[in-house]
Amino acid sequence: MKTCSIAVVVLLVLCPLLMAAEAARPGLSMPVLPDGLGVNIHFTDPKPGEMKMLAEGGFRWVRMDFVWSATEREKGKYDFSAYDRLLKALDEYNIKALFILDYTNRHYDGGLSPHSDEGRKAFARWAAAGVQRFRGRGILWEMYNEPNIHFWKPKPNPPDYIKLAIEVGKAIRNVAPEETYIGPATSQIDLKFLEECFRAGLLEYWDAVSVHPYRQKPPETVTPEYARLRQLIAQYAPPGKQIPIISGEWGYSAVWRNFNADIQGKYLPRQFLVNLMNNVPLSIWYDWHDDGTNPTDPEHHFGTVAHKYHAGREPVYDPKPAYKAAQTFAKTLEGFRYNKRLMQKDEADYVLLFSRQGPAEQLEVRLAAWTTSTTPREIALPVSPGRFRLVGHLGESLPDLTSDGGLLRIRLTDAPQYIIPQGPNEMLLRAARWEVLPLEQVVKAPTTVGNVEVLRSAEPLPVRIGLDLAEGKRFEQLTHYVVSNPLRVTIFPPLATTLWIRVENPSGTPSDETLCIDEAHGLRPATRQHELRFAQGQQECLIAVGLQDASDNDYRVSLTVRDAAGRVSLRVPQQRFRLVDDFARYTDQALAAEYRIIADGDAKVGSQQSIALAAPPLPNTGAADAAEKQLPFLSQLKSLRIKYRFDAGWKFVRVTPTDEKLRRIEGKPKAVGMWLYGDSSGNIPRVRLVDSTGQVFQPTGPPLDWRGWRYVTLAIDDLHTGHWGGANDGVIHYPLRWDTLLLLDSARRQQTEGEVYIALPTLIY
């Protein structure tokens, strides 16, 4: 990511989009460590010695189901005695609870998730009774668990969840308005589901937004997702209400592909650190102990400690590296608060500064440092003369360091290490006293802030702001300018004699501008300037660019948007597009020779699948995005139809090219674009690419939760794309080649069937 670097004397006068505010409610303010650390548990009666070991691991919170069916066994009668026992055990070690209000009850709605008036009212009465029973105990009350996936029975239903969450919010506010109510605990950061909740007014009731950012990628990849969620919260939050994000469940299984217990132990502190860096005050690791011992079952290996309990022994569980890493994090940074990130030349290198008031109000500082690079890196950090003690992520002592010429040279690895100055270090103290910049700042574009040009880009603009020190040295912080009136431009693959361009205006801001085609290598536009007008509230438009010649399947386009005064509003740098296949040259027989469809996953799970050339379905009213409904070229597309049916279990299908010419990929593409006709199944589209070492990369697209045509882009990059095999280092070694043009993965591993179409797959450079 490129950033602009500017010096600053006075902090720029801009509005922060959202900073985590200090709040009176427990768990919602940025913590004095280790107060913001927790784990998920699955019990109300801990075994002897279990709670002591959990507390000694540094955990100050537990997240636990508050189960409707277990506490209202007889209709209208509540028994909360199990939670009396759990809270008593927690109180002994000063541990707080996040209770999940879940799931169903056989007395209501046939044992499905509450969806009738009776069921909702019963759930709300029960929730209010529990909150009233335990009010004043500092509990966070969370509305359900992962309602966006299979935990909502029989299948996810956002409107039903929202009605229930509002009913519960009203009931809690009526009996205990001071209690903390949060939600929706989504599986991953499901922005579509979250926005539906926010649009319906749930931020009026919720004090925090909880999410479960699971991934099989490094923890640092969550940062842009948190940024988008902060922007969404800011858009819908009631005026003046600060609503933080909580990481309510997130962990890594030690037996996932390319994982083990050592990597899990490195990722746990990195996850905590990245959450702090994103103003997330509470981080709940999943899980406290392993749920079993099956070496091939990922669900059995999320724990910080092993599964077997050893009665009468200390410790009562065998610690895994994750436990030792949590314990080291908590002990080393005990009493400290996160201060700021000190940016390095390469954004893959992380240095986080922590501070606390020591004896006699003397400020103390410590650092946590690591890199996402797969190989060690050396950085040079400006410091005052002195010695520094180093602690490894598992608590091991590393060789002390001494500053040299005003620089501390640190060898970073993928395991965090903690750097402790041996005495006051004035330069680091200056860094700690330096004002903390907001993560995002809102501006209206086009404009210039300092010497930074801010255009109407939909992507936040990263800007480095420096604190100048002696002898040309400086510290830098990173902030992002978020544009309140962005434009988003999508260039579709040309068809016949037209290049279609979609321009989105999500803010609905009115404007009168001009879209200019600056470069069009491989295409010959008849006209290079096109009117771009948005009325108040209009959020998108389509521009048809007539082409004199569109025969080249490898072309380049760059665009500029200018306002009425001729000022540049937006630049779209040159993008190169290379059509993979338009399917126009095939007969059914020829198609069978060029592509095949393969059933994959668990061989014991049954499936049926087929591919064929087919006339593309046209969108039905209300079925597809408005822009796609208007596109007249849909009827001209040649498309590939994939029909499938999976039994319950792990199953997916792959459409693979057999022609070696088709498998070759030139250059270094950044993404794959394609038209997809979704079937509302929620199943996951992916592609597979193989690099020169045989390493497989699998970019992933959005769940197929729509019916009709939609243009989908799947990003290809080292950091965010799952990988395995070959060099197995997560680095793309070019050239790439196709393994799978389209993969359809069963999202919920339940019985599923559907029909998906693909057209104009294109490499984007």
7-32 pLDDT tens trace? 333 333 333 333 333 345 778 999 99
Closest CA to 680 of 595, 622, 765, 594: 622
Domain extent for 574: 488-578
Distances (CA, A) of 712 to 44, 120, 469, 512, 636: 45, 37, 47, 28, 18
Q: What value does the mean pLDDT take over residues 342-371? A: 94
Can you tell me the distance from the alpha carbon of 481 to that of 752, in angstroms, rounded to the nearest whole number?
Answer: 43
Residues 281 and 311 occupy one common structural domain: yes
Q: In percent, how much of the chain has pLDDT > 90? A: 85
Residue 47 covered by a domain: yes
Give yes or no: residues 266 and 389 share one domain.
Answer: no
Using alpha carbons, list the distances in angstroms from residue 735 to 193, 663, 672. Answer: 38, 11, 15
Are 113 and 259 contained in the same domain? yes
pLDDT at position 622 over 60: no
Evaluate if residue 673 carries a pLDDT over 70.
yes
Q: Using CA atoms, how far apart are residues 66 and 76, in angstroms rounded to an integer?
A: 16
In terms of domains, do 246 and 103 share one?
yes
Number of domains in the chain: 5
How far does the chain reach from its first CA to its final CA, in angstroms?
16
pLDDT of residue 596 exceeding 60: yes
Give residue 621's pLDDT band: very low, low, confident or very high (50, 70, 90).
Answer: very low
372/279 same-domain check: no
In a domain, 22, yes or no: no
Spatial separation of the C-alpha atoms in residues 311 and 139, rounded to whole Å: 30
Least confident span in 220-224, 278-282, 401-405, 687-691: 401-405
**Could you say which of 285, 310, 335 is where a domain stops?**
335
Looking at the fold, whether 494 and 479 belong to one and the same domain comes out as no
Identify whether 547 is part of a domain.
Answer: yes
Q: How many CA atoms lie within 13 A of 54 on its CB side?
A: 30
In a domain, 609, yes or no: yes
What confidence score (pLDDT) does residue 428 get? 97
Do 283 and 312 reside in the same domain of the chain? yes
Q: What is the mean pLDDT of residues 537-565?
A: 90
- Sorting pLDDT into bands at 50, 70 and 90, what band is 270? very high
Q: Is the predicted pLDDT of residue 75 greater than 80, yes or no?
A: yes
pLDDT interval class at 170 (50, 70, 90): very high
Q: How confident is the model at residue 630 (pLDDT cuts 50, 70, 90)?
A: low
Say how far apart CA 596 and CA 20 lie, in whole Å: 51
- 3-class secondary structure, 149: coil
| Inside any domain, residue 8 | no
Query: Are residues 729 and 620 part of one domain?
Result: yes
Q: Are residues 468 and 427 in the same domain?
A: no
CATH of the domain at 247: 3.20.20.80
The arithmetic mean of pLDDT across residues 174-200, rounded, is 97
Element (H, E) at 621: none
CATH of the domain at 533: 2.60.40.10
Mean pLDDT over 673-688 rounds to 95
**Is the domain of 243 the same as that of 330?**
yes
Predicted confidence at residue 404, as pLDDT, reads: 86
The arithmetic mean of pLDDT across residues 160-172, rounded, is 98
Residue 363 is predicted with a pLDDT of: 95
**Domain match, 267 and 357 both:** no
pLDDT at 314: 95
Instruction: Point out the domain boundary residue: 335, 356, 379.
Output: 335
pLDDT at 650: 93
Tokens matching residue 90: 């927690």
Element holding 722 (H helix, E strand): strand 722-724
pLDDT of 550 reads 63
What is the pLDDT, as a whole number, of residue 717?
85
Are residues 403 and 543 part of one domain? Answer: no
Put residue 497 in one of left, alpha, beta given phi > 0 → left and psi -120 to 50 → alpha: alpha
Confidence band of 636 (pLDDT split at 50, 70, 90) = confident
For the chain, percent of residues with pLDDT exceeding 70: 94
In this prediction, residues 573-589 reach a mean pLDDT of 92
3-state secondary structure 460-515: CEEEEEEEECHHHCEEEEEEEEEECCCEEEEECCCECCEEEEEEECCCCCCEEEEE
Average pLDDT of the chain to the nearest whole number: 92
Q: Does residue 151 fall inside a structural domain?
A: yes
Q: Mind listing the pLDDT tens digit for each residue in 506-548?
A: 999 999 999 999 999 999 999 999 999 999 999 999 999 999 8
Q: Which candidate, 699, 713, 710, 704, places its Cα nearest to that of 747?
A: 704
Domain boundary among 450, 483, 516: 483
Residue 16 placed within a domain: no
Per-residue pLDDT reduced to its tens digit, 313-336: 999 999 999 999 999 999 999 999
DSSP string across 292-353: ---TT-GGG---SB-S---TTSSSSSPBPHHHHHHHHHHHHTTT-EEEEE---SSTTEEEEE
For the cut 60, the answer to whether the pLDDT of residue 627 exceeds it is no
Average pLDDT rounded to a whole number, residues 369-393: 96
The CATH number covering residue 396 comes to 2.60.40.1180
> Within a domain: residue 130?
yes
pLDDT at 632 (0 to 100): 64
Looking at the predicted structure, is the pLDDT value of residue 561 above 80? Answer: yes
Cα–Cα distance measured from residue 678 to residue 226, given in angstroms and rounded to the nearest whole number: 27
CA distance 465 to 61: 36
Position 22 scores a pLDDT of 38
Q: What is the mean pLDDT of residues 23-43?
A: 90
What would the two tokens of residue 75 be? 């209709």
Count the Cβ atoms, other than its own, within 10 Å of residue 590. 11
Instruction: Write the DSSP symbol of residue 189.
Output: -
Res. 551: pLDDT tops 80: no
